[in-house]
Amino acid sequence: MKKKKTIILGIETSCDETAVSVLEHENNKRPKILSNIVSSQFDIHEKFGGVVPELAARSHLEKIDLITNEALKKSKININKIDAIAATAGPGLIVCLSVGLNFAKALSVSLRKPLIAVNHLEGHALSPKLNSELKFPYLLFLISGGHTQFLSVDGLGKYKRLGTTIDDALGEAYDKVSKIMNFTYPGGPIIEQLSKKGNKDRFKLPKPIFYKGGSNMSFAGLKTAVLRLKNSLKTNKDKCDLAASFQKTIIEILIKKTKNAIDEHIENYPSNRSLVVAGGVASNKEIRKNLKKLCNQENFEIFFPNIEICTDNAAMIALVGLEKYKKKKFDSLDFEVKPRWPLDRKAKFLKGAGVKL
C-alpha cells in the first residue's frame, strides 16, 4: 500500500500575530513543518503599550490571504493536497479569532476539506511534540501573555488544572514592568536582555502567596512594587538592576511553585516524571536554565518547544489539527469562536479580590 502523507493547514489569529503553517505527517514519523509564517503587529501596537483589538483584527483581515499564500508557496504544497484546515477558535480576542476562523471556514467549503477548531492553549500544550518524543501523560507549565497555569495532561483534550495565577499572567507581568520603565511591547524579551547587565540583588521585591496556595501564583504585587520604584530610576543602570531583580524574584517564585506542582502531579501520576514548559515566556533562557536545574534535582525530564515555537505560531495549531484529524474530530461550519475556553472546564475560576486559596 502506498504510504499516505497527511497535510494540515494551520491558521492562528487569536491576538496580535497573523500566522499560517503547513504541516506534513507520514506514518510513524515526527510531523514536519513545511512552512511556518508569522507576521507580528508589534509596530501597530507599540505606541499603545498593549494590543488594541480592533486594529489587530483589521490587520489580520488585510494580511490573512497574503500570509496563507506565502505559507503554501514556501511549503511547495498545492492547496488541493491539503487534508484539513485547522484554525484557532479560542481563547483570545473575539474580533481577531473571528477573522481566522471565518477564513478557515471559507477554505473548508471551497476545498471540501474538514474544518478543525483548535484551542490555542492546546497548541502551546502539545508544541514540544514538534521537536521531541513526548508522550502523555505529563505535567505542563503554560507561561504565556494571557495564561499561567500548571496542568496534568493525560491526552488530547484531557487536562486537569493544578494551579493558576490568581491575577496577572507571567508574560503580562513582564509587559507591565517594561511599560512602567517606558520600554516597548512585548516586554519579556526586553526585560530579559536588560537583566543580563543588572545587579539582581539590588532591589527586594515581594513574592506574593509564596508559602501558601500550593501551585497557585500571584504576580500583581510585583508590578505594584516596581511602579513604586519608578521615580527612583534615574539611569540605565538603575533600570537594568530593577529588571534583574524582577527576573530573579520571578525565578524564585517559579522554582518554588513548580516544585509544588511536581508534588501534586505525581500524587495522581506516580510513575510519570515529565515536565513541559511552553508559551511565550518559555523562550526566556534564564527561566529555562533554572527550571532545567530543578528538573535535574527532581529526576524529571524537561521538554521545551524550540524557541521559535514558544511564542504564538500556526505550526502548533496545525499540530493539534493533525492529532484531531487522526481521531476524526472535525467541527461543523457553525462552530463559534470561544473568547474564553479553559483547558480544564471543571477548574474553578480563581481570579480577583477575595479569592480563597
Residues near ligand KG4 (CB under 6 A) are 15, 144-146, 171-172, 174-175, 186-189, 192, 279-281, 283-284, 311-312
Residues 130-149 that bind Zn ion (CB under 5 A): 144
The grid coordinates of residue 166 equal: 490568581
User: Considering Cα of 70, then 61, then 105, then 36, what sign does the dihedral take?
Assistant: positive
Nearer CB in complex with ligand KG4: 167/172: 172
**Partner from Zn ion, ligand KG4, none contacting 189, C-beta within 5 to 8 A by type:** ligand KG4
Closest approach of Zn ion to the CB of residue 81, in Å: 28
**Partner from ligand KG4, Zn ion, none contacting 128, C-beta within 5 to 8 A by type:** none
The grid coordinates of residue 279 equal: 508559551
Q: How far is the C-alpha of 41 from the C-alpha of 48, rounded, in Å?
A: 12
Q: How far is the C-alpha of 152 from the C-alpha of 163, rounded, in Å?
A: 10
Angle, nearest 10°, between helix axes 170-180 and 236-268?
Answer: 170
Q: How far is the C-alpha of 180 from the C-alpha of 205, rounded, in Å?
A: 15
Q: How far is the C-alpha of 162 from the C-alpha of 139, rounded, in Å?
A: 9
Nearer CB in complex with ligand KG4: 123/163: 123
**Partner from Zn ion, ligand KG4, none contacting 68, C-beta within 5 to 8 A by type:** none
**Applying CB under 5 A, does 119 fall inside the site for Zn ion?**
no
Q: Which helix (H) or strand (E) holds 146?
A: none
Nearer CB in complex with Zn ion: 12/323: 12
Q: How many residues does the chain have?
A: 357
**Partner from ligand KG4, Zn ion, none contacting 325, C-beta within 5 to 8 A by type:** none
The grid coordinates of residue 144 equal: 504565556
Q: How far is the C-alpha of 349 from the C-alpha of 149, rounded, in Å?
A: 12
Residues 291-330 that bind Zn ion (CB under 5 A): 312
Distance from the first to the final alpha carbon of the chain: 57
The grid coordinates of residue 256 equal: 518554588
Closest approach of ligand KG4 to the CB of residue 179, in Å: 11
Closest approach of Zn ion to the CB of residue 125, in Å: 11
Closest approach of ligand KG4 to the CB of residue 279, in Å: 4
Nearer CB in complex with ligand KG4: 10/114: 10
Closest approach of ligand KG4 to the CB of residue 97, in Å: 12
Nearer CB in complex with ligand KG4: 215/284: 284
Residues that bind Zn ion (CB under 5 A): 144, 312
